[in-house]
Amino acid sequence: MSIARVEPLTTARALRGPFDYEIPERLGDVGVGTVLEVPFGRRRVTGVVVELADASEVPPEKLARPIRVLGGGTTEELVRLGLWIAAEYCSTPARGLGLVLPPGTGTGGERTRFRVEKVSAITDAGREALEGGGRLGAKQRLALQQLLEGDLTGRQLAARAGVDSGTLRRLEERGLIARRQVNVRRRPEGSGVGSAAASAPELTGAQAEAVRDLIAKLDDPSAGQGVLLAGVTGSGKTEVYLAVVEEVLRRGRTAIVLVPEIGLTPQAVGRFQARLGDRVAVLHSALSAGQRFDEWQRLKSGEATVCVGPRSAVFAPLSELGLIVIDEEHDSSYKQEGDPRYDARDVARRRALDAGSLLVLGTATPRPESWRALERIELPERVDGQGMPPVEIVDTRDSDPRQGPIHRKTWAALAEVRERGEKAIVMINRRGFAPWLTCQTCGHHWGCPNCDVSLIVHRESDQLICHHCNHAEPLPRSCGDCGGTTLSQSGAGTQRIERLLADELAPMPVFRLDADTSGGPGGHARILSAFDREESAVLVGTQMVAKGHDFPEVTLAAILDADATLRFPDFRAEERTFSLVTQLAGRSGRSRAGGRVIVQTLAPGAPSIASAATHDSPGFLAGELERRRELGYPPFSHLIRIQLAAEEEPDVDRAAGLVADRLEAALPAGAALLGPAPMFRARNRFRRRMLVRSATRELSIAAVHDTIEALLAGRELGGITLSVDVDPQ
C-alpha cells in the first residue's frame, strides 16, 4: 500500500501532524512536496505530502484517501527546509511549508493558475494555400502571412493583423493552421530587455583573486557554512558575484542572489539581467500574483537558473543549486518580522549545506557573528583606487539650540557643494516634520491615544501621526487643556530638513526619500532616478538614503543624528550605528572629484561612531566582540524572545507570570530567563517581554516550544497574543 504523510495547511497551532492517507492509483504521481486536497474531519483542506511510506499504523479501514492533486507542488529539498524552519523558529509546519510552496497555494481564496493560451502555427497545407493561391479571405491570408514568421498567440495575431478568433477557428478547421495550448509566462515589467548583451569590465586584481578563491570553493562540501566577502563600499562586490554566478551556470548549476528589500531597484536587477539575460527570474513583493506564480514556475521548470530577490527568494525552487549570495549581509531586512520569524541568512546556510552549495555573504560592514565565524575574503580598496572619503565628526552637544538641526559646518559644506555644482546626501533618522508638539503655556504634550509614544508633526498633511499604529488627527491650533495658542514643534524630521535645505540652498533641487515619499511600487527608484538626472542636487531622507545606490557625483554625505540609533535599548545598537554611518559615508566620493563626510552627533566618543569615522571595521568588530563576550550576548549565547500582549494590563501580567514560571521549570541548565519586563503600550495593548539566554540552542528552543504548546493546548492563554522570536534582531 502507498501511504502519504500529509501536513494540513491550517493555522491551528496545537495540531499534531502529519496524517496518513492512502494513495489510490488514479491520483498519478504523488511524491514529497505534492499538494493535495484531503478530507480532514468534516472539512476538506489543502495539505502537503512530507513523507511517503509503505505502511501505516492507522488501520486500513480508517485510512482516508486524498480527493485530488492540486498543482505541481514543491520539491523534496524545500519540504525539508520548510519543516526545519518550523522547528528552528518555534512556528508550525503549516507556516514553514507555506514559505516553500508555489505562490498562492492554500490561501483559500482564488488560486493562482497558469495562464494558458492557444498558439497558432502554419501547416504545410497552409503554406501551399498561401503560395498556390488557394481560396482565402483577406483576413485569413493576413493571418497566414504573419505565421510564416513564427508561431503566435491569438492575442499577438489580433494586435498585428486584426485577426479574430473566428478566423483562426476556420483556418484550423481547414487544416491550414494547427493550434496548441501553451503556458504563457507573465513576466515582470522591463524583464527580458537587453538580453545578456552587457560584457564584464576587466576585474581588478583584488576582484580577480576573490573570484578565483570563491570558484575554488565550489566543490568544497563545507562551503555552505559561508564565506565572508568583506569589501569596502565601492570595491566592486557585485562584479565578483556576477563572475561566480557565471561560472556556476557554466557548470550546469543554478544560483540565488539575495539583496536587501530596499536594494531591489530596477537598476540592481537590471545589472543581473543585462549580463545573464532571461535566465534571471525576479521574485519580489511588487509583482502581481500572476507574475510571481509564473516566475516561480520558470525557476522550478529550469527555464530560469538564477533567482534575484529579497529574503523570500531563498526559497526559490531551483534544483542543482550551486551558489547562494547574500548581498549586504548586515541588512536587517533579512529577518522576517511575522511568524515564522526566520532569518534568511541562517536559512540560506541550512539550504546551502543541504544542497552542497557555496554560500557567499558580502558587505562593507560585517555582522560580528559573521566576522567571528566565517572564512574571509577581503576587497580592501575601491575599484578606482580612490581612498575612502575623510570623515569629520561634529560634536553637537555644546551647540546653540537656536542654530537649528543643521550645524554651521554642515551648512558650509553644503554651500560648497552648491558652488561646485555637485551632489550631497543628508540623512536624518526620523520621518515627518517634528517629533514633539507641546503647549508653551501649560506644557501639554501630544501623545498617541493607543500607544505610549509621542505623536509626530507631519506638515504636508497638517496632521499628528503615530509612527506605531498610524493613528492620525488634525494638527491642533490651540491646546485642548488650557486654550493656549503657542504650540511648539521641536526636534526635526526629514520634512523639516527638506524645507530648511530648500529655503537655504535654492535654486538647487532637494529630493526627499522616506517611507512617506517612496510608497507604492517603484516609488523608491523613482526618487533616486530623479536625483540621478539632476546635474547638482541634494537628497535628504531616512536610512533609505544610505542603501543600495551608487552615484559618482556625490561629494558630501552628512548625517545629522548619528547617535539616534544608539539610543535604542538593544545590544545591537552599536553594530547598527556603525553600519549605518559607514554605509552612508560610503556613498560619498565615488569619483575623481573626491568627497567628504560630516557626522553630527551627541556621542562623538561612542566606539561605533569613532570607528566609522576612520573606516575601521576590523577595529570596531574586535571591540564589539569583546564587549559581547563580557556581557554574554550573541554570538556568545543564543537569545529567544517571548512577547505577550493583551487589552487589559492584569491579563498580560498574569499570562507573563504563568509563562515565566513554566519556562523556569522547563529550561535546560545554563539557560537564563530575563524578565518579564514591561514594554510601552502599543495599539491599545499592554505588552510584556522576556528573554531566554542560553548556550544550548536546540534544547532551549524545544523547551520554549513545548511550554507554549502545552499552555495553548490547555487553553491557559485566552485573549493573549503571544509571539516567539528566535535570534531576535
Q: Which residues bind Zn ion (CB under 5 A)?
A: 448, 450-451, 466, 468-469, 471
Please spell the DSSP secondary structure of 562-575, one letter per residue. Answer: TTGGGGSSSTTHHH
Residue 469 binds what, of ligand ADP, Zn ion, none (CB under 5 to 8 Å, by partner type)?
Zn ion
Of 209 and 649, which CB lies nearer to Zn ion in the complex structure?
A: 649
Residue 451 binds what, of Zn ion, ligand ADP, none (CB under 5 to 8 Å, by partner type)?
Zn ion
Beta strands 68-69; 35-40: pairing state? antiparallel
Residue 142 binds what, of Zn ion, ligand ADP, none (CB under 5 to 8 Å, by partner type)?
none
464 binds ligand ADP (CB under 6 A): no
Q: E-assigned strands of 168-208? A: 177-184
201 binds ligand ADP (CB under 6 A): yes
207 binds ligand ADP (CB under 6 A): yes
Q: Phi then psi for 87, rounded to 5 degrees?
A: -75, -45
Residue 395 binds what, of Zn ion, ligand ADP, none (CB under 5 to 8 Å, by partner type)?
none
Closest CA to 238 of 212, 205, 200: 200
Residue 466 binds what, of Zn ion, ligand ADP, none (CB under 5 to 8 Å, by partner type)?
Zn ion
Q: How far is the CB of 190 from ligand ADP (least distance, A)?
A: 19
Please spell the DSSP secondary structure of 26-92, one letter per residue. Answer: GG----TT-EEEEEETTEEEEEEEEEEES--SS-GGG-B---EE-S----HHHHHHHHHHHHHTT--
For residues 530 to 569, the per-residue mask of contacts with ligand ADP, x marking binding by CB under 6 A and - elsewhere, is: --------------------x-------------------
For residues 374 to 393, the per-residue mask of contacts with ligand ADP, x marking binding by CB under 6 A and - elsewhere, is: ---------x----------
Q: Torsion over CA of 361, 364, 365 and 369, rounded to 10 degrees? A: 30
Convert 81-110 into a string of H (helix), E (strand) and C (coil). Answer: HHHHHHHHCCCCHHHHHHCCCCCCCCCCCC
The β-bridge partners of 4 are: 21, 52
Cβ atoms of 532 and 551 closer than 8 Å: yes
Of 176 and 388, which CB lies nearer to ligand ADP in the complex structure?
A: 388
600 binds ligand ADP (CB under 6 A): no
Cβ atoms of 253 and 173 closer than 8 Å: no
Cβ atoms of 206 and 379 closer than 8 Å: yes
Cβ neighbours of 378 (radius 10 Å):
16
Q: How far is the CB of 203 from ligand ADP (least distance, A)?
A: 5
Which grid cell sits at 389?
572619503
Helix/strand/coil for 694: strand
- From the centroid of its chain, how far is CA 278? 22
Tell me the site size for ligand ADP, rule CB under 6 A.
Answer: 15
Residue 448 binds what, of ligand ADP, Zn ion, none (CB under 5 to 8 Å, by partner type)?
Zn ion
Residue 468 binds what, of Zn ion, ligand ADP, none (CB under 5 to 8 Å, by partner type)?
Zn ion
Helix/strand/coil for 321: strand
237 binds ligand ADP (CB under 6 A): yes
238 binds ligand ADP (CB under 6 A): yes
Q: How far is the CB of 98 from ligand ADP (least distance, A)?
A: 33
Residue 471 binds what, of Zn ion, ligand ADP, none (CB under 5 to 8 Å, by partner type)?
Zn ion
Of 455 and 597, which CB lies nearer to Zn ion in the complex structure?
A: 455
Of 386 and 489, which CB lies nearer to ligand ADP in the complex structure?
A: 386
Of 471 and 654, which CB lies nearer to Zn ion in the complex structure?
A: 471
Quick one: which segment of 58-66, 229-237, 391-399, 515-523 binds ligand ADP (CB under 6 A)?
229-237
Cell numbers 536624518 correspond to: 428
Residues 106-145 that bind ligand ADP (CB under 6 A): none
Q: Binding residue for ligand ADP (CB under 6 A) from 112, 233, 291, 694?
A: 233
The contact set with ligand ADP (CB under 6 A) reads 201-204, 207, 231, 233-239, 383, 550
